[in-house]
Structure 1
Amino acid sequence: MDKEKVIEIQNLTKRYPNGRGIEDINLEIFKGDIFGFLGPNGAGKTTAMKIMTGLIRPNRGDVKIFGTSVMEEYEKAMASVGCIIEMAESYPYLTAYENLRQFARYSSQVSRQRIEEVLELTGMLKFKDEKPKKFSLGMKQRLGLAAAILTHPKVVILDEPLNGLDVEGMIDIRNLIKHLAENEQTTFFISSHLIHDVELTCDRVGVIYNGRMLNVESTENILRNYATLENYFVSEVERNGRIPNCAG
């Protein structure tokens, strides 16, 4: 049975004045996927994700979420999307709970019970009355993830979600992502430069290098053919990566 197409990226290109950017990115992400967008720092991951979430406009190309163009019908396309791009933002002088109450104002569906639930899911319930100005980077990431999943989004877009987390935090967040994908059919699009974490978290992987997509493959096939994601990544870069620099 064909899986439902959730995100469709077509010929996505963004050039900056310094010549960096992304070039002709094409991707399809399906319902329940945990898709890993893997590449070194500066490869173009954040540029692509900013376009996907409407923060910047491409020079050409389009992103469709459930068939709706982010460029043409932004509010409709983003209605069922939660995201963290670059850094998880919060109001430093409100408590963790008050921050989520503030974010909940944008949706009529969020109850106090749901706020408590996402704080529990992300391991932040015991800190709900503390203010983010005192939080570590990892705790801010956890709170950002709580905000991203607050409205039961069908799609969650996360830029480097494991940044700043200790080993226990990485395991917690990885388990949460897998739980939501499996039990709620939430679709995840996750960027990372941490090869080991992508290998353990994602079921499909796309390699981006110097602003271009090199390949997309299932983690299962990668591990069967290359033993590790690192071997696959090195192989793909050596086979395809000798291309003009247009990173961003």
Structure 2
Amino acid sequence: MEKVIEIKNLTKSYGNGRGINDINLDIYQGDIFGFLGPNGAGKTTAMKIMTGLIRPDHGDVRIFGYSVTEEFEKAMKQVGCLIEIAESYHYLSAFDNLKQLARYYPEVDHKRIEEVLELTGLIKFKNEKPKKFSLGMKQRLGLAAAVLSRPKVVILDEPLNGLDVEGMIDIRKLIQHLAENEQTTFFISSHLIHDVELTCNRIGVIYNGKILNVESTHNILKNYATLENYFVSEVERNGRVPSSAD
């Protein structure tokens, strides 16, 4: 299977001792990869480096073979992302927000905008302004923006944040639909163990800035009753042992 994202020796330290330390990961086409760890584990730092928002101290990320630090435009050409909070123009309707974004993508027409509003469950609110939206609806609009250009890779930082149960199910179905039908590759971070278990086919546990293990969801659930049991076991086995880098 084609390797879509290669993360090599990725390291970034902050003054407060947080950050990420020597992360190595390969993500393959059609993967729904779950980056699972508690708040402060380093998930957002890694994803900001992956999307060129910050530079690493060491290491690199390659997307479709292009280095994010050296060949940013080529690396990001087929990438959609939602990092931290979904931003939007509060004084424009949901439809017009996406229309503004569509100016960057000549192949995106009004039909595609309607399509992603439908996919994310926002079609009936397309003429409303996001300033009236709940956090969950803002997340949906952020997701609509992330998949608007039919990217081959979608990087989502805590995409289920603020969603109610119905919203979580809708977005999970959307992610699985795009992975299966359009071979879209997803890299998703979350601290919501149950949702990662239900959404992702491969999981990497990150704790204190280090990757503890990467395994398929199928294999994890063959050996553990739940993903939570696996997570606790991995943290107790690897995570709480001080390393020379601490």
Please give the range of the TM-score, normalised by the shorter of the 2 chains. Answer: over 0.9
Paired position in structure 2 for 1:215: 213
Provide, for residues 128-160 of structure 1, a one-character-per-residue CA deviation record: whole Å limited to 9, x for no partner. 000001100000000000000000000000000
Paired position in structure 1 for 2:22: 24
The answer to whether the 8 A contact 1:210-1:245 is kept is no
Q: 2 CA distance for matches of 1:223 and 1:24?
A: 27
Per the TM alignment, residue 245 of structure 1 is displaced from its structure 2 partner at its CA by 8.7
1:101-112 aligned at under 5 Å gives the runs 101-112=99-110
TM-score, normalising length: structure 2? 0.98
Q: 2 CA distance for matches of 1:111 and 1:22?
A: 40
Superposition CA RMSD, Å: 1.0
Q: 1 CA distance for matches of 2:139 and 2:107?
A: 23
Per the alignment, in what secondary structure is the counterpart of residue 196 of structure 2?
A: helix
Per the alignment, in what secondary structure is the counterpart of residue 88 of structure 2?
A: coil
Per the alignment, in what secondary structure is the counterpart of residue 25 of structure 1?
A: strand
Structure 1 pair 105–230 and aligned structure 2 pair: CA distance change class (3 A): same
1:9-88 aligned at under 5 Å gives the runs 9-88=7-86
Paired position in structure 2 for 1:206: 204
Which residue, 100, 112, 115 being the options, matches 1:114?
112
Q: Within the alignment, does 1:125 sit opposite 2:149 as a pair? A: no
Provide, for residues 179-228 of structure 1, a one-character-per-residue CA deviation record: whole Å limited to 9, x for no partner. 00000000000000000000000000000000000000000000000121
Q: 1 CA distance for matches of 2:163 and 2:17?
A: 33
The answer to whether the 8 A contact 1:12-1:62 is kept is yes
Paired position in structure 2 for 1:178: 176
Per the TM alignment, residue 244 of structure 1 is displaced from its structure 2 partner at its CA by 4.0
Task: Kindly tell me the number of residue pairs found equivalent between the two proteins.
Answer: 244
Aligned-partner residue type, residue 163 of structure 2 = L
Mark the runs of 5 or more structure 2 residues left unpaired by the alignment: none
Structure 1 pair 66–198 and aligned structure 2 pair: CA distance change class (3 A): same
Structure 1 pair 63–203 and aligned structure 2 pair: CA distance change class (3 A): same
Q: 1 CA distance for matches of 2:242 and 2:64?
A: 33
Paired position in structure 1 for 2:141: 143
Per the alignment, in what secondary structure is the counterpart of residue 156 of structure 1?
A: strand
TM-score, normalising length: structure 1? 0.97
Q: 2 CA distance for matches of 1:36 and 1:176?
A: 15
Aligned-partner residue type, residue 231 of structure 1 = N
The answer to whether the 8 A contact 1:88-1:143 is kept is yes
Per the alignment, in what secondary structure is the counterpart of residue 10 of structure 2?
A: strand
Per the alignment, in what secondary structure is the counterpart of residue 214 of structure 1?
A: strand
Per the TM alignment, residue 243 of structure 1 is displaced from its structure 2 partner at its CA by 3.7
Aligned-partner residue type, residue 88 of structure 1 = A
The answer to whether the 8 A contact 1:12-1:25 is kept is yes
Structure 1 pair 245–97 and aligned structure 2 pair: CA distance change class (3 A): farther
Aligned-partner residue type, residue 241 of structure 1 = G
The answer to whether the 8 A contact 1:141-1:163 is kept is yes
Per the alignment, in what secondary structure is the counterpart of residue 138 of structure 2?
A: helix
Per the TM alignment, residue 17 of structure 1 is displaced from its structure 2 partner at its CA by 1.4
Q: 2 CA distance for matches of 1:99 and 1:244?
A: 47
Aligned-partner residue type, residue 17 of structure 1 = G
What percentage of aligned pairs have identical amino acids?
Answer: 81
Per the alignment, in what secondary structure is the counterpart of residue 211 of structure 2?
A: strand
Per the alignment, in what secondary structure is the counterpart of residue 59 of structure 2?
A: strand
